[in-house]
Every structure is written in C-alpha cells, then in structure tokens.
A and B are shown apart, each in its own frame.
Chain A
Amino acid sequence: MASNTTELNIPVADPNDPYAIPAAMPSSADKEPRSFDVADFAMPTRKQEDWRYTPLERIAEFLDVFKPSGETTIEISDTKGNAVDPAHVAISQVPINQAPSGTVSKPNDRASVVEWNSGRTATVIALNGEIAEPVLITVTGGGLDLDALHLVITAAAGTHADVIVEHKGPAKLAEGVEIITGRDSHVSTTFVQEWDKGSKHVGNHRIRVGQGASLRHSVVTLGGDVVRIRMDQDFGGEQGDLNMLGIYFVDPGEHIEHRTMVVHNEPECKSRVVYKGALDGKDAHSTWVGNALIQPTAPGTDSYELNRNLVLTPGAIADSEPNLEIENGNIIGAGHASSVGRFDDEELFYLQSRGIPEAEARKLVVRGFFGELVEEIGVPFISEHLMNVIDRRLARGESDAMKAVLEDK
C-alpha cells in the first residue's frame, strides 16, 4: 500500500445509545460559503444542487453586482391605512453594512451576495411591545429596471406583532430580508408576492428565532414571471418555535421557487414547514426545496416539513424535494411529506353529479386545498384577500380555457 493514507477518526457508536454521537459527516445539504464578498461565490450553474431547478438564463442580471434603479418604493402603515405608532414601530434607514443590517448570518449564495453588494441602504423596522394592528409594508415596483432592496425586521424581547410585506407592481427586484426576533417574542411575518406580469424577484431571507420565541413566517406568491425566494433560518436560543407557511399559484410560463432551509442548532426547538401550491397551464413551473438540518447541538428537536402540489391542467411541472439531515439521535421527531397530484377526475365527477358545474367544482376543490393553510396564516386581512385572488385566478383560467377553445375553432 502507498504510504499517503490518512488516518480517519470515525466515532464509534455506543451500542446502548447508538444515536448519541453526531454523524461523522459534515452537512452535505449545504456546501456554500457564508460571506459578504462576491468573489467568494462562483457563478452558479445548473449543475449545482442549489440551482438545478432554477432557469438561470432568466435571472442572469441578478448574478452580477449592478447599480440599483431606485424605482422601488416602500410605504409603511397599519392595515387600516393609519400611521404606525413610532413608540412601538421604529422605522429607519441605515447604511446596508450597519447593524442591525448584516447581523443575521451572511449572504449564502451568489444572488444574495450580489444583492448585498448592490444595495446601499437598509430599511429597518424595529418592533417592540404589544402591537395590535398588523404593520403593513407595501413594496411597489416602479418598472422593469433592476433594483435592490434590503429590509431588516427586528422584534425586541416580549414583542407581540404581525407584519405583512406586500410586493406589487412591475419590478425586477433583488431583495434581502433579515428577521431577528428577541426572547419570548411572538411575531408573524407574511410576505405576499403579487407582481405584475413580466416581473422578476430574487429574494433571500435570513431569519433568527429567539429563545422561547415563536415566529410564523408565511410566504404567498401569486404572481411574477420568475420568483425565487431562499429562506435560511436558525435559532438564537433554546425552545424556539418556527412555523413556515407557503402558498403559491403558478400561471403558464412562470417559475416560482421557494427554498426553506431550517437549521436546528439549539435544544428543544420546534419547526413546521408547510408549503402548498397550485399550478395551472403549460410550462407553469414550481419548485419547493425544503432542507432541514438537525445539528448535534440540538437535542429535543421536533421538526416536520410538508409540500403539496395540485396540478390543475396538463403541461405544468412541480419539483418538490425535501431534504432531512439529522446529526442528533436524541430528538422528538423529524418528518417530511411531499406530493404532486393531478386534479382528480373522480372528485370532479362526484361534485358535478350533484349539480355543481365544472368551474364551480374546481373552485371548491382548490379552495379546499388551500383553505386550512390560509386559515393558519392567521391574518384576516390576508386570508380573505387570498381566497378572492385564488377565485379570480381560477376564473381567469376558465376564460383562458374558453379563449383557447374558441381559437381552436
């Protein structure tokens, strides 16, 4: 044998407690660096695991540092349109590299490091105390010139608050979001993407959930030519509770991608990831990748992730990929479920045989598919709006289908 053998130090399991020691391998799900320096990230290719589902050619402009157009506007109020109480909701602009901006981990892929280095300022929303009325942040695109936006949402210890971030208008937006919640805070953040046709949005959320805190993080993507949002999360202390909810509705030709990366790095934390999407029409493409990493430092972890896709019409593609990496045997649970289902002809026939027309039957089934999840997002301002949008979307599908029929004739 050659002499250049390396001595391997593989831990040996204790037969009485075989899962007590961490796995011998480092995380295989995520090999990307964490850095503020663009040079640390190679240009992505679809050969890389993180980018294999993404149509890179359609977001090429997001992968090199650019000069932001500055056309994007941000308005902040409560959901009734009133000004927020500055004693509880402090809004400020800071240079992008000034704390609290840049304090929740570091950029984790080429798109996020480009966003970091292209933007100049960050908008910081600092929450504290009991905030009864949800805070509404409206991000309006001003056109299809590439822009960058960096949002930082902080919640002081003990905060109770709901935040909604709505994205609308035409835009090409590179967005970075940092969320950091303090000890024993209970916060929800809901991000709605309802972009105009032709819009592109590449987002990166970096999230830290405080000790004993709960965060409900919801993402609702209803429009945009290409929307790709990567969300990396970890815990700032033990007994954190993370609930990530997602809803997407993909139209013909759209690519809608959500990547949730949950890291259990602290003891006795709980995470739930539930993403559901409907796809309608030719070349509608959705991607959900759910990574969950349970580190040796996180005994007592309870985690579960689920993704369901409902394909309404032929020609759509849904990619769904849960990845679990468990480096700690002393946990409560780590589960996942994933499915892609076609709109069921038998369900349709059953409803029709009771007098319900096809279009109405589809609406019932799709509303049913999303219903529970919409409830769970738990912000009435959003739930009602969502169901209306979904109905409208389905109605539009009908008229498009009718149009196709007429054109065929």
Chain B
Amino acid sequence: MAEQHTLEIKDLYASVETKEGRKQILKGVNLTVHSGEIHAIMGPNGSGKSTLAYTLAGHPKYEVDSGQALLDGVDILKQTPDERAKEGLFLAMQYPVEVPGVSMTNFLRTAKTEIDGQAPAIRTWAKELGEAMKKLRMDPKFAGRSVNEGFSGGEKKRAEVLQLELLKPKFAIMDETDSGLDVDALRIVSEGVNRAHENTGLGIMMVTHYTRILKYIKPDIVHVFAQGHFVKTGGPELADYLEDHGYDEYLPEGADSESALA
C-alpha cells in the first residue's frame, strides 16, 4: 500500500490582473483529493479550470485572495512554486515552456536532485531516464535538446509525462493534457499517466474540456467546474452525461452555447 496523502482545497478565491483591472476568477473552490484517486475536472471554456491549476502551482500571474490548499496539512499557497513541487505537487502544463540552452538531461537531473534532496545515482538515473523515454516512444536525442525547444505539441506533452514519471509527485494536475494530441499520441501519453498512477499511487486532477482522454485515463470522480467553482460532482457517468448534453446548463445566462464536445 502506497503512502496516503491528502490535498485539500478550502474555499479558494483567486484573481488575475487584466488590462481591464483585477478580475476574480476562482470563487470559492472546495475539493479534497486523496492518494490514488483520479479526479476529472471538466467545464466550459473560461470557467477558470486552468486558473485553478496555475494558482495551485504558484504562477505569479494569479493572486490568492483567500482560502487554503493543504497538502498533508501544509498550506502550499504560502510557498514558492519550487517549494510546492518539493512538497509533492506537479503541474503538467497545457503549453509547456521552451527554455533555450538548457538541455533536457541537465534540467531533469537538476529537478530530480532538488525534489529528492540529493543527486540521483548516475547509473540508475541514466537507466531510469532511458527506459521512461522509451516507454513514451521518445527519441533518445530529445535528452540532448533544449527543454521543449522545437518540440511539436505531442512531444511537449510526452516530455511533461516523462517528468511526471521521473519526479514522482504526490499529486499531479494535468492541464488539458489531451489538447493537440492525435489518437496515437493520446494513447501513449495516457499510458504514461496510468503507469505513474500504478507505480506511485499519486492523486491526479485531470483538467479537461473534452471527454476523450477519459476513455484512456479512467476517473473515479468527475466534477463540473463553472464560473469559478465546482457546481456538480459525480461518478464516471457524469462524464458520459456531459458528452451527450454539453455544458449549456452551466453557462451563465445569455452566453452563447458554443460548447460542443469532441
């Protein structure tokens, strides 16, 4: 039995600075995720799903107005992004950032060293990296290239899952991991997430607009996120319902119903 951890988001309000001034996006988010659980966080575009993901990871653009996010009792919202990562939180980004001049190998080794508090043993690390890349069908030459630089959309997502597998967080937020992936890439990436889930028993929050990734990564709990907070929670059957009915009923009055599901 893997270690049990809890991530508890309590009454979280957060804002972003826009050209029109400060705008509150998260309006009272409450959610508890335990180790081993897979939560799907679904909702219409602009509902604040990604804001929730980035606020939890500590992106400087988002400001917490009130509330807490307790990882095993520690409020990570008071921590810097790197401290949160060391606490065991991982964000797989929708648009992973290119870092020119920093090789993937150097980056991964540095991150692993920081997260573990010690440098990984060279031989086992090289082996682990090689095997993880192979399982994700990543060309070994990616290890020598700059972080995400010149990677295609699919390659970037694979690189995110590679980090998930190597860094072994307690909780992972997968932000629109399925976007921009063709069927084959979606399967490979999903297998990676499932592998990490099986091997480490981490808790996962899948932020997604569409249901197609949920055919590969089976959620235990499905939430609907709309207008800055959770409005409905159910089992996997809720995803099927959303597939058929869309998000219309969760859109604010007068919004156009452009929420077709794939």
Contact = CB atoms under 8 A, between A and B. Distances in A.
A156 interface: no
A353 B80 contact: no
A166 to B, nearest CB: 26
Interface residues of A, number: 24
Given A355-B111, A364-B106, A349 B81 contact: yes
B85 interface: yes
A351 B163 contact: no
Contacts of B101: 365, 367-372
B9 interface: no
Given A346-B97, A350-B93, A364-B107, A355 B82 contact: yes
Interface in B90-117: 90-91, 93, 96-102, 106-107, 110-111, 114-115
Contacts of A353: 57-58, 81-82, 84-85, 90-91, 93
Interface in A115-135: none
Interface string A348-363: 0111111111101100
Please classify how large the interface on chain B is, using the bins under 10, 10 to 19, 20 to 34, 35 or more: 20 to 34
B167 interface: yes
Contact of B102 (A352, A358, A368): A368
Nearest to B166: A354
B232 interface: no
A323 B129 CA distance: 46
Contacts of B100: 368-369
A345 B60 contact: yes
Given A350-B93, A350-B96, A353-B82, 6 more contacts: A344-B97, A347-B99, A353-B90, A354-B85, A355-B111, A355-B114
Of B58, B84, B97, which is in contact with the most chain A CB atoms at under 10 Å from its CB? B97
Contact of B85 (A352, A364, A369, A370): A352
Interface string B180-216: 0000000000000000000000000000000000000
A379 B58 CA distance: 42
Interface of B: 57-60, 80-82, 84-86, 90-91, 93, 96-102, 106-107, 110-111, 114-115, 146-147, 163, 167
Complex A-B, nearest 7 residue pairs according to Cβ-Cβ distance, in ascending order: A368-B101, A355-B85, A352-B81, A350-B97, A354-B111, A355-B114, A368-B102
Contacts of A347: 97-99
A351 B58 contact: no
Interface in A250-304: none
Contacts of B82: 352-358, 361
Of B81, B147, B163, which is in contact with the most chain A CB atoms at under 10 Å from its CB? B81
A354 B167 CA distance: 8
Contacts, number: 81
A354 B107 contact: yes
B162 to A, nearest CB: 11
Interface of A: 344-347, 349-358, 360-361, 364-365, 367-372
8 contacts: A345-B60, A350-B99, A354-B85, A354-B107, A355-B114, A356-B110, A357-B114, A364-B106
A364 B58 CA distance: 20
A365 B103 CA distance: 10
Contacts of A349: 58-60, 81, 97
A353 B107 CA distance: 12
A371 B106 CA distance: 12
A355 B115 contact: yes
Contacts of B99: 347, 350-351, 364-365, 368
Contacts of A372: 101
Contacts of B107: 351, 354, 364
Nearest to A347: B99
Nearest to B97: A350
A365 B102 contact: yes
A368 B58 contact: no
B153 to A, nearest CB: 16
Contact of B163 (A344, A354, A367): A354
Contact of A368 (B57, B93, B146, B163): B146
A355 B167 contact: yes
A358 B80 CA distance: 9
Given A347-B99, A351-B107, A368-B102, A356 B114 contact: yes
Contacts of B114: 354-357, 360
Contacts of A369: 100-101
A74 B195 CA distance: 64
B255 to A, nearest CB: 30
A64 to B, nearest CB: 44
A354 B110 CA distance: 9
B86 A355 contact: yes
B85 to A, nearest CB: 4
